[in-house]
Amino acid sequence: MTNLIRCLLLGWLMLLAGQGWTQTTQVLRGQVIDAETHQPIPNAQVGVADNRIGTSTNADGRFALSVPAALQGERLEVALLGYRKYTRALPPLPASELRIELRISPAALGEVQVTGSVLGIVKEAIARIPRNYPTRPTQLTGFYRESDNDPAGQPRYLAEGLLLAFKESYKKRTAEGEIQIKQSRKVDLRPDRQPIRIDWAGGPFIAHWGDFVHRRSEFIDPAHFKDYDYRLAPGSTFQDRPVYVVTFGPKAGTHRADFEGRMYIEQDSYAFLGAEWHYTSAGLKNSVHAADSRALRVAYQFYAGRWHLKTVWWQTTAKLPVGPPLKYFGEFLTTAIDTAQTPRPAYIERAQYYDVFLRNTVAYDSAFWQGHTTLLPPAAVQKSLFDQQRQQQADSLFKPSDAGTDPQERKLSAFDRFLKRFSYGSHLGAWPLAVPAADLTVAYAPAGYGLQMQRAASVRAQDLTVFTQFEYQYALTRELALSLATQRLHRQFEGDGWEVGLSYQRNLTPHHRPLYGRAGLGYLRQTVALPLGTFDNPDSGLHMAGTHLGADELSARIQTVNDALRPSLGVGLELSHRFELVADASYLVPLRSKTQLQVNEKSGFFLFRTSSAVDLPAADVDLRVNDQPTTRLPWQQRPWLLTLGLRYRVR
């Protein structure tokens, strides 16, 4: 009986889910196929009202386009390079799925082998970029998707977002730009929920990185023309416009060309209408991120007298050092263009490189993008989404509210919460040390042993002693953090130290790029040591301050060990959501100080080497400064300490 109830409930849920898809109104659905082969055509551009709204077909040639009531009297256009543009009046909505056939566009040009004249076409297209592309800032509204497939071709995850992409004037060569993430969602489609991290940072920025015209990619960069061969392939049309199809690739014998592919240049205006290319072996080696293959496809659309970015398609495959192979796929689709004098987004609104959708906890919902144009997932992804949604709904009926959560996922979420509070940084500073010139001699003759050590050293006058610090912080609250740091001296002195304390940080500019006021209090211990060199140990039974030093070779140094409180004040400037530049001024309040002779084992297995220190004054240690017996070293610690550092937030 229980199984029967379960089946009936599952069937009821499937029926409800199916009704949820069919009840969507004012959505135009269709499939684009080749008129001769009747095979589906992916990545065809579908637009309404001169591309005021649009989308692209998925791997099955299907699309779904939300059409506002005000545009239902407009015309539908479907275009793809190599095919004749398809146009017709929009049918009354809602309507059944359209079947659209695209016909091959006849070739317009034959094969041309004269490289010089082809290069002239490319140069002319570059010269006309200010004439063909926006010369003032514009804003694109677009839909972004990324996913990763396992070796069997099944998607591991799906992440989607509604973006605003701010574009600078195309007169300026840049691959940078602001991105705002207006909405986003994710879904993890791994059936076993294996505890591996799937994280492709910076994906939404392909709206800028993939814009080869704006960034003047290498294959249209005059500085690299010498590395490429350019040829004219059989021509075609794009949106009923005749184009030059220019192929490019490395010249014979060169390894300096990173790309190979083809671009489409309109014959009348010399505008770049699109390109498709992949990285050469040299390009993969020169890439920041290692990969086995990387390919891109980019297209532009005409609007308000200029060409604007329409689509970016990006695919990367790589064998990772840890975890399964990566088969990343990302795409961006422009759904609206704002050509008004768009203000630059404020810092607080901008996405950063490490803002990825996979940290979004919004559950996958088929109605999430209601009212927005999206990219329709392929049939295999839709099936995975539906199966997972159906299983989650069934689990919620037959299990307690937290029983369906994998224990490993709960651990990972707790770990994520910990990492979100965790940061670390490196600092460079001037250690406050007054060092006069002096001559030192140190003699050590422990009673009862055969060791007779005598060493001389000169101290150079020094105004600046450099130290480096590595600091870890854990945020107790939004503004208060626990810190632990290690530090090391450089130049003629050596010495390690540590510090533990509390730091307070408050944002002074909450509506702009954060500028923090900083205050802290720490307890530190720092060693300042002068090396005295190495010497042979004639007595394998040597004991120093109760520690056995039996190695054949020993080293010695004379040092001060200082304990102090360290109150500090400073500022921090956020460079990005991950990085912060900090500067601090501190005052050292001395608590105690001691002078020591330290002896270390130099030979033997490094894991078992020991060291020992004798506090001065000591009967078996004779310290002289400028030939005068003393127990104090010539350098003195000053109170003021200045540091400059860079902090990194893990999350």
DSSP string, 127-148: HTHHHHS-SS-EEEEEEEEEEE
278 burial via Cβ count (<10 Å: 0-12, 13-18, 19+): middle
Q: How far apart are CA 273 and CA 507, in angstroms?
A: 46
- Taking the C-alpha atoms of residue 43 and residue 120, their distance in angstroms, rounded to an integer, is 30
pLDDT tens sequence across 341-381: 777 777 778 887 766 665 555 555 555 555 566 666 666 66
Q: Which residue's entry shows tokens 């677009």? A: 142
CA 578 to chain centre: 10
Give the pair of three-digit tokens for residue 293.
């293959």
Report pLDDT for 201: 52
Instruction: Compute the Cα dihedral for 153, 158, 163, 166 and give only its sign.
Output: negative
pLDDT in tens, 321-349: 777 777 888 889 888 888 887 777 777 78
550: three-class secondary structure by DSSP: coil
Contact present, 647 and 422 (Cβ < 8 Å): no
Which DSSP symbol is given to 494? B
pLDDT of amino acid 109: 46
Residue 226 identity = K
- Both structure tokens of 523: 């307890």
Given a contact cutoff of 8 angstroms between Cβ atoms, the answer to whether 558 and 442 are in contact is yes
Q: Residue 287: count other Cβ atoms within 10 Å of its Cβ.
A: 13
Phi, psi for residue 45 in degrees, rounded to 5: -90, 125
Cα(168)–Cα(344) distance, integer angstroms: 9
Number of H helices, E strands in the chain: 8, 35
Q: How many CA atoms lie within 13 A of 452 on its CB side?
A: 1
Task: Specify the pLDDT at position 326.
Answer: 79
d(CA 78, CA 367): 26
Query: What integer pLDDT is reported at residue 173 of this predicted model?
Result: 93
Q: Cα 322 from chain centroid?
A: 18
* Residue 489 · residue 495 · CB < 8 Å: yes
Number of Cα atoms under 13 Å in the Cβ half of residue 114 = 5
* 94 preceded by a cis bond (ω within 30 of 0): yes
Query: Given this model, what pLDDT does residue 309 score?
Result: 95
The pLDDT value recorded for residue 643 is 92
Q: Are strands 98-102 and 27-34 parallel, antiparallel or unpaired?
A: parallel
Query: Could you tell me the mean pLDDT of each successive run of 10 residues in the chain, 651 residues long?
Result: 42 39 63 91 82 78 84 85 84 88 68 62 95 94 83 75 91 89 76 53 83 96 94 76 91 92 93 95 84 92 91 87 78 87 77 65 57 64 61 49 41 64 88 91 89 91 90 91 94 93 91 88 95 90 88 92 96 86 94 93 81 91 93 90 87 60
Surface-to-core class of residue 438, CB atoms within 10 Å of its CB (0-12 exposed, 13-18 middle, 19+ buried): middle
> Hey, what amino acid is at 627?
D
**Residue 4 token pair:** 């029967």
H/E element holding 420? helix 407-420
DSSP string, 169-192: -TTS--S--EEEEEEEEEEE--TT
Q: What is the predicted pLDDT for the residue at 409?
A: 42
CB 517 within 8 A of CB 556: no
The pLDDT assigned to 224 comes to 94
In sequence order, what are the beta bridge partners of 474?
422, 482
Query: Tens digits of per-residue pLDDT, 412-464?
Result: 456 666 777 888 899 999 888 999 999 999 999 988 888 888 999 999 998 88
The pLDDT of residue 156 is: 77
Q: Do the Cβ atoms of 53 and 64 come closer than 8 Å?
A: no
Q: What span, in angstroms and rounded, lies between the C-alpha atoms of 107 and 234? A: 6
Of 570, 603, 610, residue with least CA distance to 586: 570
Give the DSSP letter string of 251-272: PTT-----EEEEEEEETTT--E
Which among 56, 580, 648, 143 has a CA at the least distance from the CA of 357? 143
Cβ atoms within 10 A of the Cβ of 641, count? 20
Cα 359 from Cα 416, distance rounded (Å): 9
DSSP helix/strand/coil, 114: coil
Please report how many Cα atoms fall inside a 13 Å half-sphere around the Cα of residue 215, on the Cβ side.
16
User: Which pLDDT score, from 0 to 100, does residue 375 have?
Assistant: 66
- Would you state the pLDDT for residue 65? 83
The residue to which tokens 């490289």 are assigned: 115
Q: Which helix (H) or strand (E) holds 237?
A: strand 228-238
CB 647 within 8 A of CB 423: yes
Whole-number percent of the chain with pLDDT over 70:
80
Alpha-carbon span 273 to 237, nearest angstrom = 10
The residue type of 77 is E
| The Cα angle at residue 110 between residues 107 and 115, in degrees rounded to 5 | 130
Q: How far apart are CA 193 and CA 189, in angstroms?
A: 8
Tell me which amino acid residue 346 is.
A
Q: What is the pLDDT of residue 15?
A: 37
Which DSSP state fits 375?
P
**360 DSSP 8-state letter:** -
Fill in the DSSP letter of residue 111.
-
